[in-house]
Amino acid sequence: MIIICLYVDDLLITGSNKSEIAAVKKSLSSEFELSDLGKLAYFLGIEFVQHKDGIFMHQKKYILEVLDRFNLLECNPADTPVEANLKLGACETKAKVAGTMFRQLVGCLRFLCHSRPEISFGVGLVSRHMSSPRNSHLIAAKRILRYLKGILDHGVLFPYKKSETKQNVLQLKAYTDSDWCGDQVDRRSTMSYVFFLGEAPISWSSKKQDVVALSTCKAEYIAACNGACQGVWIQALMKELSLSNGEAVELKVDNQSAINLAKNPVFHGRSKHIEIKFHYLRDQVAKGRIKLQHCETDLQIADVLTKSLKFARFRILRDKMNVKAW
């Protein structure tokens, strides 16, 4: 199998046979003007480092460009991207800042989320105030850059080494979590998921829910449903790439009530107010495509994508997401 990843006029070619890859390159070069840049090192603003432990994906060059663009090259580093227990509201009494500049800063931060999953919550937090940014919102956005400046040599590790356990190294598993009513303005919850293929994080998300959850159970149930949608899509993609053996996607949830609600349809008293679209989770569990497992809160990796944490807890979860120095 040969896989070609194409974006406009940039492409990656990979496969299990080097001679077949060379044949594809030769065939393409006979039809198009083609420049072979060798092993993967830089693609669409994202850098890759071949390491003895695996492949590191990072954006050090881009981070330095953003720091220079916003005059933060000499700033003091921060330990975390978001101050612990920070709650950002409309802050209408605070001074306004230039809207265009703020939106440019947030846009740069959103692009950095491709290689730095641990900043996703902070970026989502400041993204909510792009229509009328205030000074407090700008300070929060600049703190994320200060955090990135302190650990420029970090990135996502895709390890070569197979797991020492008997489990399949390409087993797909995910963590889903929710912070109940975390938004101070509309009281909506922040939900998140992070998917691992083996030990490598391959997909992550942190976003505000569309509805107001009446309980932690409902907030976690909606978060798990969001994770189930992504899990089914990834499973279909893996099947197309001949990487899936049809096993159910394992979703780790730290709320037992949400798990029971997905498995037991007679809980109508607790679930009658939940919109029908969120019961997609229950359908996928019944069909055996999704397998829910209870996860202790201390082991919930997706927790870092739903709220601001103190440095000790934040660093532990960042390491578990395989965000490390190369």
Same domain membership, residue 136 and residue 87: yes
The average confidence (pLDDT) of the chain is: 89
Q: CB within 8 A of 320, min separation 6: which ones?
A: 301
pLDDT of residue 191: 95
**In this structure, are 168 and 284 located in the same domain?**
yes
Query: Which pLDDT tens digit goes with each residue over 56-98?
Result: 999 999 999 999 999 999 999 999 999 988 888 777 778 889 9
Query: Is 226 a member of any domain?
Result: yes
Q: What is the pLDDT of residues 187-224, one digit of tens each?
A: 899 999 999 998 899 999 999 999 898 888 889 999 99
User: Do the beta carbons of residue 171 and residue 291 sit within 8 Å?
Assistant: no
The neighbouring-strand residues paired with 157 are 56
Same domain, 171 and 280: yes
Strand partners, 159: 54
Give the pLDDT confidence of 169-187 residue by residue, as tens digits. 578 999 999 998 888 778 8
Domain count, the chain: 3
Whether residue 314 is predicted with pLDDT greater than 90 in this model: the reply is: yes
Residues 193, 205: Cα–Cα separation, whole Å: 5
Q: Are residues 125 and 206 in the same domain?
A: no
Q: Where are the beta strands (DSSP E) in the chain?
A: 2-7, 10-15, 42-43, 46-51, 54-58, 154-159, 172-179, 190-197, 200-208, 249-253, 290-294, 323-325
Higher pLDDT, 326 or 144: 144
pLDDT at 161 over 80: no
Residue found by looking up tokens 């990796």 in the block? 301
* Structure token pair of residue 126: 């400041």
Paired tokens of 101: 């500049």
Q: Is the domain of 168 the same as that of 142?
A: no
* CATH (domain of 187): 3.30.420.10
Strands (E), 169-225: 172-179, 190-197, 200-208
Provide the whole-model pTM: 0.89
Percent of the chain with pLDDT over 70: 94
**CB distance 74 to 145 below 8 Å:** no
Range of the domain at 34: 1-38
